[in-house]
Chains A and B, each alone.
Chain A
Amino acid sequence: MQLPAYYEFCNSVKTIVGHKALEQIPQSLKAINAQRPMIITDKGVEQAGLIKIVQAAMQKSKLKAAAIFDSVPADSDVKVVNEVAKLYRSKKCDSIIAVGGGSVLDTAKGTNILVSENAADLMQFVGYGNVKRKLRPLVAVPTTAGTGSEVTSVAVIANHEKNIKMAFGSLFLLPDIAIIDSRMTKTLPPTITAFTGMDALTHAVEAYFCLAKNPLSDTTALAAIQLIAQNLVNVVKKPSDLDGRLALALASNLAGMAFSNSMVGLVHNIGHAIGGVCGVPHGVCMNVLLPYGLEYNLHKAANYIGELLYPLAGEEVYNKTPKKERPLKTVEYIRKLIQDLHDATDGKHPRFLKEVYDKTGKQMIPKEKLPDIAKTAMSDPAQFYNPEDLDYNDYIMVLEAAWEGIPLDRKKIKKG
């Protein structure tokens, strides 16, 4: 273990984990003087019956939601945030329970800024460190496993009218409480389970070898990777495995802790760009690009990538593989995991970019879009934390290989 010359680590979310974690919401809110929570969620979560489960769990301690907003869009929007804040104020709420994925969490964080600071305009809080005071209580209940956004101190909210994305960064944006309960991911369809699980795996893997890695992010990342490797395929094949579901949700939480403190690199860099240009879900992009992120950085992070073979493949494979071969074996195991998920979802889980289809069967990433994606990736700051530098041609090289589904030709990687 290396002690970095300088590092920072903060994980100040109270995490409650269990098959009955939701039942602890009332007493947790009571302990911080909150009695009138507002539930913020989206239609998908509501229709899956998850809000009813949350409410039933709260009802056991006679706590009722003072208001419910269930129309958060897939892409968090400032207009919606203002609407939610208005409802919060009119119902005299004093806390928020956000039940959902990244967009719901971001909307909840934005709302919390407005209602806590008694403000009408989020613009004054944009940037890093502009939220300087403790906000009102926020409970995060993630419904995927997942984005890890229940432990991140950032929120991104789009202003579609002005065509800008507002990014907020502050430790005060961290939720007070995160509830990791197996019931919230129990009904997640196999395809979504697969790519959200790969999203969490990417968080942990990138956190382990990117430039801001530190001892605590390392131990949490390794724990996350092991849990995902042991449970993801099983849960995709047997969705009712509640212990497995809980393990994956916990892994996503651990991975969130890891990457929010040591950042991410190439995989997220390109993944964000694909999401922006082609509208592909975040986890799907991460899934395909992960092996390429490792191949691209192998010459700079071989030792770290080699160590990942242990949590991914187990000790037998780790011992059998000579040290020099472990990095490439890690990549092989990640590709194997993607293939296993592809098989377990009857081919729906994509292995390469050209295999990403939407619900109507249309290809979502046409080859002609790759230059646009590369240009967009050049504008994403995740590249700062990647061990190796990237220019336009490097992005194209990675994208073309990921599109075809062929391993990266590492001889072509520019090493400076």
Chain B
Amino acid sequence: MIPYNFTFLSHPKICSGLKALEHIPFELESLNARKPLVITSARWAKKGLAKTLTKALYDSNITIGALFTNAPHYPGVTIINELSKLYRDRGCDSIIALGSGGIAHIAKAVNMVVSLKTDILQCSNLTISSPLKPLICVPTADCEGGEMAAVAYYERFEKQSDFLYPDVIVIDQRITRHATSQEVANCALTSLAHAIEACGIDVPNPINDAYAHTALQFIYQFLPKTIKKPCYKDGSVAIVNAAACADTAFSNAPQGIVHTLAQAIALDTNLKPGIVMGILLRYSLAAKLQSKGGIRPELLLALAGIDTYAKTPDKDRQKAAYNYLIQCIDATSKFVPTTLKGLNIPHYKLKEYAKLAAAKNKQHKETEYMALLEKSFEGK
């Protein structure tokens, strides 16, 4: 048995379910905050989510310092600086990110600027050694990965720090139900890839496994129905829960081959990382199944539950886990092609992506990245 030797941190408090939004005032109060800057996009404001959130803060002592409804998708320097100024001018003491993707990363970047009292470009070089201002994430179901993790993506930077976790994650069906099927597919695939890669590491980490397994359970159980109808009951809540658990698992494990490659491709092509991860994951799992280490049999326990796991003979568990995982990926087949070629990625770009990935994440050799890209290109 390999002895345990790991560090684990998950910071956010998760509030998930019926009337979760209405817990926000009490949570802010317990963080000694009463005047949040709310950041969201025009799309979500149009869908009425900003109004829903505002109403949830009625009958409390929370004054919204400013409700910014024009956050762009891209977390660029200009918007970060503008929002930081708005935060300061209004005397805000906390931030609520209403939405996922760029909205959450803009919020994290603004939080760094207002807490560290420095320019956003300087932040990349600084080590954060104390908590930032309170940050509440209210995700929509179009998560792209990292919103609820200990990482912030802004401009072309990626900053990792324990203090970049949000303080509270509020998952409410009134907010999560509005994503499209394509977005749910993207979110689920990102979470799946992060969870699988987090528990595929050599050094055992049962705490991280618990989070990764929870993410897998949510996805396997809820994805098929939710992808057909994102507003169906609490399916979207489950998918966002999976994203939250997967983000924690991702923050506590080295970045995997699928994540690194998907990031490189997404940056170059503007494709959603989740779609790319879904394709790469399929072939990465197939390769893992044939490899010496194989796929961890416990994934079957997470996906299928105790009864099925216990009934499946030991020698069949890896294959069974693989089949269940492919089922999850196949549930998104209407929205995600099965090969990179299907995304119109030209073959000559593969070498460039392999190089970029190897430069960013030296855990794997360039040849490994290239091998996965080749397999995923045409599915052969």
Chain B residues near A257: list those with CB within 8 A: 207
**Chain B residues within an 8 Å CB radius of A61:** none
Contact B211 A216 (CB under 8 A): yes
Does B4 reach chain A (CB closer than 8 Å)?
yes
Closest-by-CB residue of B relative to A20 is B5
The answer for the CA separation of A246 and B129 in the assembled complex, in Å, is 29
Option from B18, B129, B237 in Cβ contact (under 8 Å) with A31: B129
Q: Is the CB of B20 within 8 A of A14?
A: no
- The residue in chain B whose Cβ has the minimal distance to the Cβ of A34 is B129
Asked if A246 and B11 sit within 8 Å, CB to CB, the answer is no
Interface flags for A146-184 (1: CB within 8 Å of B; 0: not) read 000000000000000000000000110000000000000
CA distance A229 to B30 in the complex (A): 38
- B241 CB to closest chain A CB (Å) equals 7
Query: Please, which residues of chain B bring their CB within 8 A of the CB of A24?
Result: 7
Bound: A18/B6 CA distance, A:
7
A residues within 8 A CB of B31?
132
Q: How far is the CA of A132 from the CA of B31 in the complex (A)?
A: 6
What count of chain B residues pass the 8 Å CB interface test?
51
The CA of A5 and the CA of B238, in the complex, are separated in Å by 11
Of B207, B222, B302, the contact of A254 (CB 8 Å cutoff): B207
- Chain A residues near B32: list those with CB within 8 A: 132-133
What separation, in Å, do the CA atoms of A215 and B305 have in the docked complex? Answer: 13
Q: Compute how far the CA of A178 lies from the CA of B311 in the bound complex, rounded to whole angstroms.
A: 37
**Are A33 and B130 touching (Cβ within 8 A)?**
yes
Report the Cα distance A130→B190, complex, angstroms: 39
A215 touches B241 (CB 8 A): yes
A17 to B13, CA, bound (A): 22
Complex CA gap A247/B4 in Å reads 8
Cβ–Cβ contact A216 & B210, under 8 A: yes
Q: Which A residues from 216 to 266 make CB contacts under 8 A with B?
A: 216, 218-220, 223, 227, 243, 246-247, 250, 253-254, 257
Give 1 or 0 for each of B184-224: 1 = CB within 8 Å of chain A CB. Answer: 00000000000000000000001101110110011001100
Q: Which of B288-322 contact A (CB under 8 A)?
A: 302, 305-306, 309-311
Q: Mark B2-19, 1 if CB is under 8 A from A, else 0.
A: 011111111111111111
A7 close to B221 (CB less than 8 A): no
A261 to B15, CA, bound (A): 12
A143 to B218, CA, bound (A): 36
List, in ascending order, chain B residues with CB within 8 A of A4's CB.
16-17
How far does the Cβ of B31 sit from chain A's closest Cβ, in whole Å?
Answer: 7
A215 to B23, CA, bound (A): 20
Bound CA–CA A17/B217 (angstroms): 26
Provided the pairs A6-B17, A243-B1 are in contact, do residues A223 and B9 lie with their beta carbons within 8 angstroms? no
Name the prevailing secondary structure of the A interface residues. mixed
Cβ–Cβ contact B17 & A243, under 8 A = no
Q: Is A391 positioned at the interface, with any CB of B under 8 Å from its CB?
A: no
Q: Are A254 and B1 in contact (CB under 8 A)?
A: no
Q: Does B234 contact A (CB under 8 A)?
A: yes
Beyond A14-B8, A32-B129, A254-B210, is A171–B30 a contact (Cβ under 8 Å)? yes
- CB neighbours (8 Å) of B30 from chain A are 129, 132, 170-171
Q: Do A10 and B13 touch (CB < 8 A)?
A: yes
Tell me whether A16 is interfacial, beta carbon within 8 Å.
Answer: yes
* Contact present for B210 and A3 (CB under 8 Å): no
Chain B contacts for A315, CB-based, 8 A: 309-310
Contacts of A3 in B (CB 8 A): 17, 218, 222, 234, 237-238, 241
Query: Are A14 and B211 closer than 8 Å at their CB atoms?
Result: no
Q: A15-B7, A220-B210, A223-B209 are in contact. Are A8 and B13 (CB under 8 A)?
A: yes
CB contact under 8 A between A223 and B306, given known A15-B7, A132-B30, A216-B214:
no
A400 lies within 8 A of chain B by Cβ: no
Q: Indicate if A82 sits at the interface (CB-CB under 8 A).
A: no
Who on chain B is nearest to A133 by CB?
B32
Tell me if B330 is interfacial: C-beta within 8 Å of chain A.
no
The 8 A CB mask of B113-133 against A (1 = contact, 0 = none) is 000000000000000011100
In the complex, A18→B207 CA distance in Å? 13
Contact residues of B between 333 and 364, Cβ < 8 Å to A: none
Report the bound CA distance from A9 to B131 in whole Å: 20
Q: Does B245 make an interface contact (CB < 8 A)?
A: yes
Those 5 A-B pairs whose CB atoms lie nearest each other, nearest first: A6-B17, A10-B13, A18-B5, A315-B310, A219-B210
Knowing that A9-B13, A223-B206 touch, tell me 19 more A-B residue pairs with CB under 8 angstroms.
A1-B217, A3-B17, A5-B17, A6-B18, A12-B10, A12-B11, A13-B9, A19-B5, A31-B129, A129-B26, A170-B30, A215-B218, A219-B211, A219-B302, A223-B209, A223-B210, A250-B207, A254-B210, A319-B310
- Can you list 29 A-B contacts (CB < 8 A)? A1-B214, A1-B305, A3-B241, A4-B16, A6-B16, A6-B18, A6-B19, A7-B14, A7-B17, A10-B12, A10-B14, A17-B4, A17-B5, A17-B207, A33-B129, A129-B29, A132-B30, A171-B13, A171-B30, A215-B217, A215-B241, A216-B211, A219-B210, A223-B210, A254-B207, A254-B210, A307-B306, A315-B309, A319-B311
**Interface set of A (CB-CB < 8 Å, partner B):** 1, 3-20, 24, 31-33, 129, 132-134, 170-171, 215-216, 218-220, 223, 227, 243, 246-247, 250, 253-254, 257, 307, 310, 315, 318-319
